[in-house]
Amino acid sequence: MKSSRSVICLLKAWPLLETTVVGTRRVTGSLTKIPSKFRQELLEKIRSVDKSIKIKFQIATLSNLMSTFEKGARILHLSSELVSETHLILEDENCLADKISLKDLEDLRSGHTRFQLGGIKD
């Protein structure tokens, strides 16, 4: 088998709660999850190729995102069940919705280090 340093990192956020503007917590959207064979099918396709490819499946937290940018990945796939026109919605360690502005996301990707774990404040 041939060797490869390729890394695919897939980060997925599925926050269960969000904090409202007045500080209370509420359930986010619908708790219905649609079954998907994406992970299984991706692994099967990669195994069929004559290369060693490292894949990470992680929860899309700010910590995991920062770690991915620090360590690097040839392919980064980000997905979230919550949408925003101005932010990427992540998840924190308590399943709360966390967010990062698109500008801050670009700064983070570019290597700026003004971020602290536990969320980015607007």
Q: What is the DSSP string of 28-55?
A: -S--------HHHHHHHHHHTSSB--EE
- Is the pLDDT higher at 73 or at 115? 73
Q: Is the pLDDT of residue 116 over 80?
A: no
Q: Tell me phi and psi for residue 10, to 5 degrees.
A: -115, 115
Q: What is the DSSP string of 94-106?
A: TSBEEEEEHHHHH
HSE-up (13 A, CA, CB side) for residue 112 = 9
Instruction: Give the CA radius of gyration of the chain.
Output: 16
Q: Tell me phi and psi for residue 49, to 5 degrees.
A: -95, 150
pLDDT digits (tens, 9 = 90+) for 38-87: 888 888 888 898 778 888 899 999 999 988 888 888 888 998 888 888 99
Cα gap 95→81, rounded to integer Å: 12
pTM score, whole prediction: 0.74
